[in-house]
Amino acid sequence: MKAIYFAWVRERIGRSDEEITPPASVANVEDLMVWLTRRGEEYAHAFENPKVIRVAIDQNHVKHNAPIAGAREIAFFPPMTGG
Amino acid sequence: MVTIRVQAEDFDPTVETAVLTKGRTDVGAIVTFTGLCRDEGGMLNALELEHYPGMAEQELARIAAQAQERWPVQGIVIIHRFGKIPPGERIVMVSVSAWHRSEAFCAAEFLMDFLKTQAPFWKRQNLGDGTSGGWVAGKEADEEALERWNTK
């Protein structure tokens, strides 16, 4: 699946998107953030306070307990500040 | 009739609002909100708006559909810019036409409240001294503004 990052999540990780292949044990969004955190310091920094991170699967907002099976695109970003 | 656009260029609210009345005589009210970039007391050089291409348009369309379910509105226009926007320039506009003013006011406010917290846009401040003022933090007041729509 494709992971996409925006705003300070993108800046902390140092890239805007990447292909990721989490193991089957990574079932939901919360698990995925824990798994990403283990990829390195920059990920640990981006996900240091996972509660504030908003997530969209295939361009729809989802909660952290949402399953990731079948997702093509998962985006991680801070609370939105448009308008 | 719903118009949704996400673009870098400026827009003219008068021109954009004209589509709501073109060829019809049953419109009783149009409420238009325009959001501008303010200079924060002279500190700000520009806002830089990042967005999620594709999802931004989809989410604005979903918010417009929710407004149409809640109120009898005739038309909705939502335009949101991205990129570098200096103080004084327009960032966003929402325009709602309806038979009566109450629905137009309510729907326009609902659209803005949801847009601010649900549409994937992020603002970064570019300060007058050339430094980055950092990402604008989401406001509690904006989240609270959503709750009142749940109780109605």
> What pLDDT score was predicted for residue B2?
97
**In a domain? residue A14:** yes
Cα–Cα distance measured from residue A25 to residue A32, given in angstroms and rounded to the nearest whole number:
9
In Å, how far are A18, A47, B61, B77 from B111, measured between CA atoms? 33, 30, 10, 10
**In a domain? residue A82:** no
Query: What range does the domain containing A66 cover?
Result: 2-77
Contact B52 A8 (CB under 8 A): no
Partner residue facing B123 (CB), from A61, A77, A81? A81
With 60 as the cut, is the pLDDT of residue B112 above it?
yes
CATH code at A25? Answer: 3.10.20.30
Q: Which pTM was predicted?
A: 0.95
Structural domains in chain B, CATH included, are 2-139 (3.90.1170.40)
At B124-152, the pLDDT tens digits run: 999 988 788 899 998 878 888 888 888 65
Cα–Cα distance measured from residue A47 to residue A37, given in angstroms and rounded to the nearest whole number:
6
At A31-83, the pLDDT tens digits run: 999 999 999 999 999 999 999 999 999 999 999 999 999 999 999 999 999 99
- Number of Cβ pairs < 8 A linking chain A and chain B: 70
Contact A56 B52 (CB under 8 A): yes
Question: What are the residues whose beta carbons fall under 8 Å from the beta carbon of A83, sequence distance 6 or more?
Answer: B35, B80, B91, B92, B112, B115, B116, B119, B121
Give the minimum alpha-carbon distance from B72 to chain A in angstroms, rounded to a whole number.
24
Longest Cα separation, chain A: 39
Global ipTM: 0.96
